A and B are shown apart, each in its own frame.
Chain A
């Protein structure tokens, strides 16, 4: 009897102790407290954090950059937090309002307007703002700004191109990648192999289950057909004939010419999955994708990667030339951090993005990005990497940079993308006709962008 009751009281006491321990040990990432000053001179100890979606390899590289910086600035300590890509926005949003939130974060530019509206991100100090506006291409500095105020350092630039498997092209007797939509369909038909009713090799791959993957390639085709997503007044422009033609192209590929298989199109939470595996294993002949998937292709295809070539987006009947979609990422600083933390953060970001932090006049950020095959954006970095950027795979992208049109950055942009994604997926699955898809996409866009103001 007594033994058991002692056990229970031990449990009770233990609970209290453990709770106390957990509470004390929990908040070591607290960004809200400036902490006690450590010794005289150098200023008080500042703890800041960096939130990113990069893979473990890049996180390790970033941590060595952090180490180098911390040696020069012993009063600053930086904690790198990595979350998988699919969790990034959710993590940012849920931590944004709290004191323990990340001090710095890598974000997709599309998210900036809402973060600014909610007062979650801090304006860049004058010195940094001037530097950003002078040392980066104008359109990228603009993408990192809202109402003319700069909110962070642009880092990567991404755009889309037609990726195709030259070996499969050879087998089908096609010498050149398609330059127009008619050629695209014709080539895709030649490149599609079937076994009974099932497609074993698809001529053209579409993507689903992932917002950017579904919407961006389609938008590139739209732009290359002379169409727009949003007009100058900021209203959705999906009800144009050019847009209808683009919806019809998808309908054609999926349902009429049947050169695309929905089962091979899905992507998973980390933007890998069947759509990637199909191309890697040679089951997809052509697909429109962004430059950053180069590292995934190389890892999956190994030597077969030499069979991959890139070409401009095929031009539609109403288009004047290829215009791929481009988008960019940037690093922002939390508006909820206190002054000392914000200052330390901007200082670190300055270092990370400056030509001094890397080798041969490149910045450490550019080195990180290039290790993933991603294009840096700072003018000096583009020069420093001119040779690497000239390699065959990337050339198909860098040559199109001048023709690229940025994805519109508006309030409600992410939701707008997801709405369009659903409509495109329904079209790809054969649940709607092109006409119906257009009508619903326009209505949904008006509803989403209207509500977002």
Chain B
């Protein structure tokens, strides 16, 4: 190995290490601070490693917000929305990929154009519509508007287009209904895309903030963990309560992070496959 190559390899390692450290640091700081005592949190210059780590802050989080209920709400929102997106995208994607009808391309273009819409643009009228439907202030109000998703339809169409027609024809000849074809024949073939869509939709809706904030305002019973965390921050705002806020943040971060760590190979591989083909 030449000196040049050694130097460039070393600098590569150094750079990679630096990136790892900078990326992991905020999370490590968050956890470390959650274990500090209130006076340690106030210290200037700051304390890096807590002297005598304590779980007290975690208990105090429960005094201000209902952690269990918040997680339940987050889980309901994320799971139901994801399930809805999977079903609606699968069905619509199948139609756009395998059927022909007048105006198909125009309709597809219209739906897909909405993929790039920043939510704030429609926030206010959407909120009033949800109010008129009587579902504001409830989890239904958070979930229902998101049950169909343009990106999901786009993704499914791309992948279903790759399903061999022979497979479908054969099933039809066997007397299978279209519904059965979609779920029993097509879905298994595009399972990686479905899984990717499921993972992304779940994380996105677990972390979604603006829409739940708008629909649920004030209603703690239905608040997902991200809203409860904001409430924790405002009610324990002063500097000596930083460990409590960090404890809350650690709790909020755990589920999506753990989900990712467990399924990360899947996440990344399917992203690679779904990212830019077609």
Tell me if chains A and B make direct contact, with any CB pair below 8 A: yes
Chain A residues engaging chain B, CB cutoff 8 angstroms = 1-2, 4-5, 8-9, 11-12, 14-15, 18-19, 22-23, 25-29, 32, 51, 55-56, 81-87, 90-91, 94-95, 97-100, 102, 268-270, 272-273, 276-277, 296, 299-300
| 15 other A-B residue contacts (CB within 8 Å) besides A51-B218, A269-B234 | A5-B188, A8-B86, A15-B84, A22-B139, A26-B222, A27-B138, A55-B235, A83-B217, A83-B231, A94-B214, A97-B131, A98-B137, A99-B131, A100-B137, A269-B233
Docked-complex contact A15 and B138, CB < 8 angstroms:
no
Docked pose: A273 CA to B219 CA in angstroms: 26
B256 to chain A, nearest CB (A): 20
Docked-complex contact A81 and B136, CB < 8 angstroms:
no
Docked-complex contact A18 and B76, CB < 8 angstroms:
yes
Docked pose: A8 CA to B140 CA in angstroms: 22
> With contacts defined as CB atoms under 8 Å apart, how many contacts are there between chain A and chain B in the complex?
125
Docked-complex contact B234 and A23, CB < 8 angstroms:
no
Asked if B251 is at the interface (CB within 8 A of a chain A CB), the reply is: no
Residue tally, chain B, CB below 8 Å to A: 45
Provide the main secondary structure of the chain B interface. Answer: helix
| Residues of chain A with a CB closer than 8 A to B225's CB | none
B166 to chain A, nearest CB (A): 16
Docked pose: A271 CA to B16 CA in angstroms: 41
| Residues of chain A with a CB closer than 8 A to B187's CB | 4-5, 8
Docked-complex contact A100 and B136, CB < 8 angstroms:
yes
B200 to chain A, nearest CB (A): 16
Most chain A beta-carbon contacts within 10 A, residue among B87, B180, B235, B237? B237
If A15-B80, A19-B140, A97-B131 touch, whether A277 touches B219 (CB-CB below 8 Å) is no
Docked pose: A22 CA to B191 CA in angstroms: 28
B39 to chain A, nearest CB (A): 12
Asked if B93 is at the interface (CB within 8 A of a chain A CB), the reply is: no
What residue of chain B has the Cβ atom nearest to residue A102's Cβ?
B218
Docked pose: A81 CA to B137 CA in angstroms: 12
Docked-complex contact B137 and A95, CB < 8 angstroms:
yes
Docked pose: A236 CA to B136 CA in angstroms: 39
| Residues of chain A with a CB closer than 8 A to B188's CB | 1, 4-5
Asked if B107 is at the interface (CB within 8 A of a chain A CB), the reply is: no
Docked pose: A436 CA to B268 CA in angstroms: 55
Asked if B135 is at the interface (CB within 8 A of a chain A CB), the reply is: yes
Docked-complex contact A94 and B127, CB < 8 angstroms:
yes
Docked-complex contact B239 and A2, CB < 8 angstroms:
no
Docked-complex contact A27 and B238, CB < 8 angstroms:
no
Contact string against A for B residues 209-226, beta-carbon threshold 8 Å, 1 for contact and 0 otherwise: 000001001111110000
4 tightest Cβ-Cβ pairs between the two chains A and B: A26-B138, A84-B234, A5-B184, A270-B234
Asked if B63 is at the interface (CB within 8 A of a chain A CB), the reply is: yes
Docked-complex contact B140 and A22, CB < 8 angstroms:
yes
Docked-complex contact B139 and A56, CB < 8 angstroms:
no
If A87-B218, A98-B131 touch, whether A11 touches B238 (CB-CB below 8 Å) is no
